[in-house]
Amino acid sequence: MALTKDRNTVSRSGEQFSYPLAATKVYAGSIGVINASGFLTKGSTATGLKCVGRISAQVDNSAGLAGDLAGEVENGIFRWKNSAAADAITLAEVGSVCYIVDDETVAKTSGTGTRSPAGIIEDVDSDGVWVRMGQDALVAPAGALLAANNLSDLDTPATARANLGGGADKIILEIRDINLVGATAEVKRTVSPVAGTIDKIYSVIDGALTTGAATLTAKIGAVAVTDGVITVAQAASAAGDVDSVTPSAAKTVAAGNVISITVGGTNDAAKLGHVVLVITPSA
């Protein structure tokens, strides 16, 4: 029932926990995980493991039954051995998830879906990889969807974005306040923050056009986007009219590329247009 007086609620530091141990031996300073049966064990190459931190002390339950003994684990940032070759972690991976290889080694990738996540990479030096570990280290901000999926999709960006849903795989760029008078040949620009493809271009106008249509031509650098020209018809035009095109080629952008919209046509009404570009990231 709801409280009617103060309650002495017991608290923890949130840094150290004790879990029932599987029928195995674990070593102090090793990667601790909870297995599918709910028991603490040592890190290994397997899926479905939940990393809970660094094991604090050696415990040998190899001759007992699962749960006969308990093991202590700590949350925090710990340094682990790095992997080699394609799985070697560098400073470029700081902020990304790394994966468990064994009870002292982490890797850059999930090994094609064969490894469980270890935690978040905080730093890399010549002695190893510093990894943030604990129960909350792998919880995604937006509803923990990625954690629920064991984070195995994080080394496949397209899959991760698709799993997130809700349009999370699109970048929206706006170019506002474009003078639609054709004679001005105004050029407005923006910069793509990601690599990807321009999949749709929309326009909306603030008022009716006169004399003729206005055209809005999209370019990436100096190259015109194929099928990237919006024609805003003059006849029956009004504020709020929306037009769109679907680019078919020459639509790939790199991070930092300049995207421009050039005005053309014979409209001579001093009206403004606004353009929205929909980009699908490639990574």
Q: Determine contact, residues 253/220, Cβ cutoff 8 Å.
A: yes
Least confident of 155-164, 190-199, 229-238: 155-164
Q: Which of 255, 245, 169 is nearest to 220 (CA)?
A: 255
Measured in residues, the chain has a length of 283
pLDDT for residue 171:
86
pLDDT for residue 149:
47
Model confidence pLDDT, tens digit, residues 24-80: 999 999 999 999 999 999 999 999 899 999 999 999 999 999 999 999 999 999 999
DSSP reduced 3-state for 93 = helix
Cβ within 8 Å of residue 4, ≥6 positions away? none
- 195: tokens are 């690599």
Q: What is the rounded average pLDDT for all residues in the chain?
A: 88
| pTM of the entire predicted model | 0.52
Q: Where are the alpha helices (DSSP H) in the chain?
A: 145-148, 157-164
* Interval 160-187 mean pLDDT: 79
Model confidence pLDDT, tens digit, residues 183-209: 999 999 999 988 999 999 999 999 999
DSSP reduced 3-state for 38 = coil
Q: How far apart are CA 1 and CA 91, in angstroms?
A: 51
pLDDT for residue 233:
94
Q: Is the pLDDT of residue 167 over 90?
A: no
